[in-house]
Structures are given as structure tokens and as C-alpha cells.
Amino acid sequence: MSTIPVIVDCDPGHDDVVALWLALGNPTIDVRGVTTVGGNVPLPLTTMNARVALTVAGVNDVPIAAGASGPLERELETAEWIHGENGLGGPELPTPTMTLDERSAQQLMVDVIEASTEPIAIVATGPITNVAILLRDRPDLMSRIREVVWMGGSTERGNATPYAEFNALVDPEALALVLESGVKFTMVGLNVTHQALLTAEVRERIIAIGNNTSRFSDDLMRFFCDTNETVYGMPDGPLHDPVAVAVLAAPETVEVVHVRLDVETKGTHTAGATSVDLHGLLDREPNAYVAVGLDVDGFWNAVVDAIKTLD
Ligand code: RIB
Ligand code: CA
């Protein structure tokens, strides 16, 4: 089976952890590197949490490097109200066996891309700052980047402000820069990730796997569901980030359309809002693929099958 070489750029975060597990456990994906960004919690914690995610899964041969501590221009906004003070509220966190690569995220990305005989896909599940820096500073590598798939934005309303999804709100300038770069870009927004709900049945399926990763998942999912119920009245927490990985790992489960996508960077009340022209009203060339549908059963089957392959 041919595999897709991937870098996962993330801000763990409960759902980022499951995104990492889906990427690491799916046979179609070959994770060449993990990079971290300040987002859900500050960079030292998202980086520690990425190391924890790989340690829990028994993965020790994928480099992890820390990237941008905050957005290109703005102050970092974090999301402890969903993820807890340490970013992975719920389970007791093991001491990571995964060491931190001494390179920066940008250097790791460059090294992975330059060492690959085929173009690298980047799946970003946090504020897209690291990807923006890579594309800004190394436009010469564009032809060696297969595509960027990002969990963020929405075709509808936001979850961090009424109009902005969290990842887009944290660094809208980075998103604008990535869209401007011309890289093949897929946005997986709340309109789809709100279908990836951690129902009791799904949680039972994951826990029934019975390995170390699934046991760790139990407290992780319970905390995430509790905070999503408290904040949004959604007791079956929407597991956003793995849906972005599914675009590559199980593309048959995610329906996308090719449309014009822009991001608001100036609005007083709308900064971070993603403008998705689903009906061609602006008469502007499509510049992105946007997820509009999810095969929920197929998605969860991919997640469960991936976790089964881990420790
Ligand atoms: O809005 C949801 C996104 O913001 C997810 O990626 C979550 O982990 C947070 O980063
Ligand atoms: Ca995330």
C-alpha cells in the first residue's frame, strides 16, 4: 500500500492527541515528524502533551519539535476552559519517554521536506502559525509540499467568539498568509467536526479496545465531554482534530467542495471568521477545499482501527 508522508502540527489538546493517534495508527499515513504550536495552552505544555501522546501510544521513533509560542502578530489566546490548565485535563500524565528534538519546528519541517523523495502533506490541528512561517520563509519548498489540511474555521458560526473558531481566532493573519501562498489547502471546520461526537457508544468502542492508549483515552474523553457540556451544552464532545487527519487517512469519509475561502483579520467582532463562498456569490476563483460532510461511522471506524494498532 502506498503511504502519504505527513507532518502533524498541533497544539495538544485532547482532540489533537487523538488526531496524532489516528495519524500514527492508520496504514495510509507515514508520520515523518510532529511539530507543536502555542494554542490550547502555552507552547511548553502543548509540546509536553505531544510527547505524552506518543509515549502513551508507544511511539518513540518520530521526531517532535517545538515551534511558535504565539501568533504572528497577536497575543496568544489559550483554551484552558476546554482542555484544562495543563492542556490534557483528566488522565494522570505519564513521564514522556519521547525526547524533544533540539531543532525548531521550522527546521524539522524543512529537514523532513528536503529529505523526502515525495511531497509532504502537513496536517495542522492548531493555530496555523508554524505553517505560515514555513511558507513565508521557504517559498522555494512549495513544490515539495503536497498539501496542507487544517482543522479550523467554520462555514457557520464560531466556538471561541460568535463568529470565529478557536484556531482561526488565535492567528487569522497566519491563515491569510497560508491562503495567499497558493498551497493546496483543505479546511476542516466546525460545521463538520461537530458531527464527530464522542457519544457513549463511541467511547465504549474505544475503551473496549483494551490497550494502553484506549485506557488513557477513558479519562481524556470524560474530561473533554464534561467541559464541552459545561461550555456549549454538548455532552458528547466534538472531537475536532482527527477529522482533519481523516481527510488523508480515510478520504472517503470526508466530503469537500472547492470554493473561495477568506479569513477576516480586521473585524472588531468578527476577527478570525472564515468566509466560505459555498454558492459562488463573490465570483472569485476557488482557492481552497472545504469539508462539508462526514461519514460518521466510517470516521469512527478509522479512529478505532488506528488505536488498535498502538500500545
Ligand atoms: O476549535 C477547535 C480547535 O481548537 C481544535 O483544534 C482544538 O484542539 C483547538 O485547538
Ligand atoms: Ca487543536
Instruction: Tell me the three state secondary structure of residue 139.
Output: helix
191 lines ligand 1 (CB under 6 A): no
The CA distance from 164 to 94, in Å, is 34
The SS3 of residue 282 is coil
The pLDDT value recorded for residue 1 is: 75
**Ligand 1 atom having least distance to the Cα of 15:** 8
Regarding the beta carbon of 101 and ligand 1, being less than 6 Å apart is answered no
Under 8 Å between Cβ of 70 and 45: no
126 lines ligand 1 (CB under 6 A): yes
Segment 181-197, tens digit of pLDDT: 999 999 999 999 999 99
CB 284 within 8 A of CB 260: yes
Q: Around Cβ 271, how many Cβ atoms within 10 Å?
A: 18
Hey, which residues does 260 pair with through a beta bridge? 277
Which residues crowd ion ligand 2, with CB under 5 Å?
11, 13, 16, 125-126, 241
Nearest-CA residue for ligand 1 atom 1 is 166
Q: Please state, in angstroms and as integers, the Cα–Cα distance from residue 269 to each residue in 77, 162, 163, 273, following that order.
A: 16, 8, 8, 9
How does DSSP classify residue 12?
-
One digit per residue, the tens of pLDDT, for the chain of length 311 reads 789 999 999 999 999 999 999 999 999 999 999 999 999 999 999 999 999 999 999 999 999 999 999 999 999 999 999 999 999 999 999 999 989 999 999 999 999 999 999 999 999 999 999 999 999 999 999 999 999 999 999 999 999 999 999 999 999 999 999 999 999 999 999 999 999 999 999 999 999 999 999 999 999 999 999 999 999 999 999 999 999 999 999 999 999 999 999 999 999 999 999 999 999 999 999 999 999 999 999 999 999 999 999 99
Q: Note the pLDDT tens digit of each residue in 222-247.
A: 999 999 999 999 999 999 999 999 99
Grouping H, G, I as helix, E, B as strand and the rest as coil, residue 252 is helix
